[in-house]
Amino acid sequence: MDKSSLIYKKYKITLLIALLCGGSVYSQIPPKVDQALRQAAIPRDALSVVVLPLGAGAAKAPRLLHQADVQRNPASLMKLVTTSAALDLLGPAYTWRTPLAIEGVVREGVLQGNVYIRGQGDPKIGVEQIWLILRRLQGMGIQKIQGDIVLDRSAFDVPHQDPGGFDGEPLRPYNASPDALLLGYKSFLLHFVPDAANKVARVHVEPPLAGVQVQTSINLSGADCSDYRASLKADFQNPLRISFAGTYPLACADKVWPVAYADPPQFAARAIHGMWLQLGGQLSGGVREGQMPAGLKPLWLHESPSLAEVVRDINKFSNNVMADQLFLTLGLQQRGLGNAANSKAVIDTWWRERLGQEPPLLDKGSGLSREARISPRALADLLQWAWLQPFMPELMASLPLTGVDGTMKRSKSSASAHLKTGSLRDVMGIAGYVDGPLGQRYVLVVIVNHANANQARPVLDALIDWTAGK
């Protein structure tokens, strides 16, 4: 057992002694919270709350426990488990490295052979990064590839997923499945630029997709911009043709619409092929899947931003795809292959070693699941433990600030708090750290599982304010 785990165990023993010696626990739901529950038509038994002191007040009893041990669906609060495990096991400075190699010789600007790109799970390879990779390839004197560009996805073993299977929204980029070579969340951007003189809006797609025809203009209309996407009457069903049967409102000015590609497994190949051609490159073969030959030395490694930066994106904006990439990376790094079974085993072992209790039920890193379960007390225990770790500043800085940024920007609470949010149909919650009026700090975990959970935002704000002494 490492030093941090021993400190955490002493911390929990001190807390238990405080309780046994008469420390009081506020078990009644605060009046303002109770009122917010009634207004939202949410029963008390659908709510779980844990409020625990940190720092100088850590030896005191919990301030509030209400159904703390009920197993709840946490939605995106499960990202706290994934990101804490990753920061602990990989370290905040960890980076993903994507190798690129060539097989063959280069003569007069022509590569007589193949180019290989081997994905290692980098969650932040976007269009700009691929453009730089291809430009660097051309900088080596390669203008024509007399062979194929081969994409190696073997680092992850991910079964086929229906992008609309979870919530019926197949065009939403957040529903993209993880991929060892994930490019831009398997999504493209449609840019609409009105040309009033010619009564059309120009349409531009980024990145260029080889073999895909995109309607380049659409008639303008005088409608308001309240629902411009519906007015377009876009047709994305055919992966090889994107068209519009409607109009674009002039009042919208410039707009950008991110859309998940209709044939996700082919997105990276079409995007890389399209960008290579746009850069003036030639390709006699195609872009296909395959494995990089063993022993083939990479020309270079494309390096991602640090894990600390990635964790910030995951938690601030609740990025599902990046969280699932990180989850599978744990399996890849610890057990040699990124799949759900390996990654779950890594987190289960880590949880038992660090927190000394049975792990939560998780099947992916994002919490985008109907089966995931964790008790609010266990989540609070994790946040207590994380508070004592060297990576605590990186984790805390990744959590949205109430009323300021990320998914907490819309919060009406006047308190200062760093809180991760979680929401699904029938689920809403928050978990993180709240500042008290005199410098105290508290762990706050709130989870609502109920059909009216989407009405629970005032309940969460009331609990934040109560915790902060507002």
Residues 126 and 46 grouped into a single domain: no
Residues 297 and 325 grouped into a single domain: no
Residues 333 and 446 grouped into a single domain: yes
Within its chain, how far is the Cα of 364 from the centroid? 11
Asked if pLDDT for residue 100 goes beyond 50, the answer is: yes
Interior angle at CA 319, CA 375 and CA 66, nearest 5: 20
Give residue 23's pLDDT. Answer: 40
Whether a cis peptide bond, with omega within 30° of 0, leads into 123 is no
Residues 30 and 43 grouped into a single domain: yes
What is the count of structural domains for the chain?
A: 2
Residues 290 and 329 grouped into a single domain: no
Residues 285 and 319 grouped into a single domain: no
Percent of the chain exceeding pLDDT 70 equals: 92
Give residue 164's pLDDT. Answer: 67
Residues 237 and 373 grouped into a single domain: no
Give the residue among 417, 440, 439 at the shortest CA–CA distance from 430: 417
Q: What beta strand segments (E) does 264-401 contain?
A: 282-283, 287-289, 300-303
Looking at every residue in the chain, the average pLDDT score rounds to 93
Q: Are 277 and 98 in contact (CB under 8 A)?
A: no
pLDDT tens-digit readout, 254-294: 999 999 999 999 999 999 999 999 999 999 999 999 999 99
Residues 147 and 273 grouped into a single domain: yes
pLDDT tens-digit readout, 127-152: 999 999 999 999 999 999 999 999 99
Q: Please spell the DSSP secondary structure of 55-117, one letter per residue.
A: GGGTTSPPSEEESTTS-B--GGGGHHHHHHHHHHHT-TT---EEEEEEEEEEETTEEEEEEEE
pLDDT tens-digit readout, 47-58: 999 999 997 445
Asked if pLDDT for residue 208 goes beyond 70, the answer is: yes
Residues 204 and 278 grouped into a single domain: yes
Residues 223 and 282 grouped into a single domain: yes
Residue 102's H or E segment, with its range, is strand 97-107
Q: How many secondary structure helices (H) and strands (E) does the chain include? A: 12, 20
Provide the residue range defining the domain that includes 255: 96-304
The token pair at 355 is 């927190």
**Among 304, 338, 366, which residue terminates a domain?**
304
**Is 54 strand, coil or helix?**
strand
Give residue 22's pLDDT. Answer: 38
Q: For position 393, which CATH number holds?
A: 3.40.710.10
Give the number of residues written for the chain. Answer: 470
pTM: 0.92
Give the pairing type, strands 110-118 and 149-152: parallel
Residue found under tokens 């003036």: 280
Residue 308's H or E segment, with its range, is helix 307-317
- Greatest Cα pair distance, the chain, in angstroms, is 83
Residues 189 and 159 grouped into a single domain: yes
